[in-house]
Amino acid sequence: MSGARIIWLLLYKGSRRHTVCQGFTRGSTTQHPTQMFRGFVCRYLTGPSASRCTALLYRKHGDPAQVVQSESISLPDVGARSVLVKMLAAPINPSDINMIQGTYAILPDLPAVGGNEGVAQVLDVGSQVKSLEPGDWVIPRDAGLGMWRTAAVLAEGDVISLPRDIPLLSAATLGVNPCTAFRMLTDFEDLKPGDTVIQNAANSAVGQAVIQIAAARGLQTINVIRDRPDVAKLTDSLKAMGASHVIKEETLRQPAMKELFKSFPRPKLALNGVGGKSATELLRHLEVGGSMVTYGGMAKQPVTVPVSALIFKNLKVKGFWVTQWKKNHSQDEGALRTMLDELCSLIRQGKLTAPDCSEVGLQDFHSALDIAMQPFTSVKQIFVM
């Protein structure tokens, strides 16, 4: 048994000796008795040796720099169908920021722990837990669990195991962006080797996963990025991942595109993570009858679809949300498992790597959140606990 596990089990066993009732403790101050986090019921504690963890939480929506704080909070008992986990690593994604700002489509009850994605290791399991055992790596099945913390007690059904032979950063960043890329390349067009996909925000984590999964399937990709001082370096790194072409946003409106399509089939699929003019430009280059799938709106501008694109090119304009896909398939264990297995297989073969990550400790959350919200960073901030 590892030292870390022994320490956590001791803490956890210690907490069992204390009276527990519903509520929320912050240090020694008791707050709103009815508040609880999903998967993490916060309790009053009656003694000093109860089990606790450090969490980045927010009590109101707003600027993450202002509203997120690091607090020591209590862990509940491990119920019959729950597991005690130690968090290992958890990234900061745009949706985490939007959730804190209060602009995301789903918002947890407040106070809430930040972070929707990450990998944890099981330390202890309840008496009726069948699918997990101590030592397993797990990731959330769904958004909203609150992963920016050192430990948690989670329902068995809220997590799914991952093999432990993949790199930690790949595991921590697998459940959202690669799954989104995988589904968008699979579910909207019947793509064959040699077909083309065009995407904007190509240097995003989703974009990098699209490039790599597409390359593994023999698909060609046209990857649109914003201009920047080190654009050549970024271009080279995306090409090293398997990008067929990397172009700047401006190029989408230039004659160079016509030249490109003399030697390249027009894309059947466009993936839009930006919106605004960028999305309209992607549409202009699609093959007749092709699809544009919008999954993100980083420019915070609506998508404008020219009438001619609908009438004369019969383009399909659709959206994708991985959270909804997971909800729709929550009763179909095999669907999520099959996708994760395929992605892990690509990781083992060296065909799918984690996005460039900057590893930070939870205590450095202020600067990590600040960097995560800056443009042109191309590096994902990831908490390593």
Ligand X SMILES: NC(=O)c1ccc[n+]([C@@H]2O[C@H](COP(=O)([O-])OP(=O)(O)OC[C@H]3O[C@@H](n4cnc5c(N)ncnc54)[C@H](OP(=O)(O)O)[C@@H]3O)[C@@H](O)[C@H]2O)c1
Chain positions contacting ligand X, by CB under 6 A: 93-95, 176-177, 180, 201, 203-206, 226, 273-274, 295-296, 298-299, 320-322, 355, 375-376, 378, 380
Candidates 44, 25, 38; CA nearest to 109 is 38
Residue 189's contacts (CB-CB under 8 Å, 6 or more residues apart) are 195, 268, 269, 290, 291
User: C-beta of 355: minimal distance to ligand X in Å?
Assistant: 6
Neighbouring CB atoms inside 10 A of 159's CB total 27
| Helix, strand or coil, per DSSP, at residue 41 | coil
Q: How far is the CB of 184 from ligand X (least distance, A)?
A: 9
* Closest CB 240 distance from ligand X, rounded Å: 17
Our answer to whether residue 104 is catalytic in this structure is yes
Residue 221 bridge partners (DSSP): 197
Backbone φ, ψ for residue 32 (5° rounding):
-10, 105
Closer CB to ligand X, residue 68 or residue 78?
68
Q: Are strands 52-58 and 112-113 parallel, antiparallel or unpaired?
A: antiparallel
Paired tokens of 170: 């790949």
Cα Rg, the chain, nearest whole Å: 22
Q: Yes or no: say if 205 and 177 are a contact pair by the CB < 8 Å rule.
A: yes
Q: Which is nearer to ligand X, 35 or 353 (CB)?
A: 353
Identity of the residue, 82 or 381, whose beta carbon is nearer to ligand X in the bound complex: 381
Q: CB-wise, 264 or 320, nearer to ligand X?
A: 320
Residues written for the chain: 385
Nearest distance from C-beta of residue 66 to ligand X, angstroms = 21
> Nearer Cβ to ligand X, position 42 or 215?
215
- The catalytically annotated residue of 12, 44, 58, 104 is 104
Q: Which residue is nearest to ligand X (CB)?
A: 296
Distance of alpha carbon 288 from alpha carbon 277, whole angstroms:
20
Quote the CA–CA distance of 256 and 59 in Å, as a whole number: 51
Question: Could you tell me the smallest distance in angstroms from the CB atom of residue 63 to ligand X?
Answer: 17
By the 10 Å C-beta count (0-12 exposed, 13-18 middle, 19+ buried), 19 is classed as exposed
Contacts of 95 (CB under 8 A, 6+ apart): 104, 116, 143, 176
Residue closer to ligand X (CB basis): 11 or 210:
210
- CB 161, min distance to ligand X, A: 22
Count of helix runs (H) and strand runs (E) in the chain: 13, 20
CB of 183 to ligand X, least distance (A): 8
Give the C-alpha separation, 185 to 213, whole Å.
Answer: 8
* Residue 163 φ/ψ, nearest 5 degrees: -65, 150
CA distance 281 to 283: 5
Q: Helices 333-348 and 205-216 sit at what angle, rounded to 10 degrees?
A: 80
Cβ nearer to ligand X, comparing 244 with 381: 381
Phi, psi of 69 (to 5 degrees): -140, 155
Q: Which residues are catalytic?
A: 104
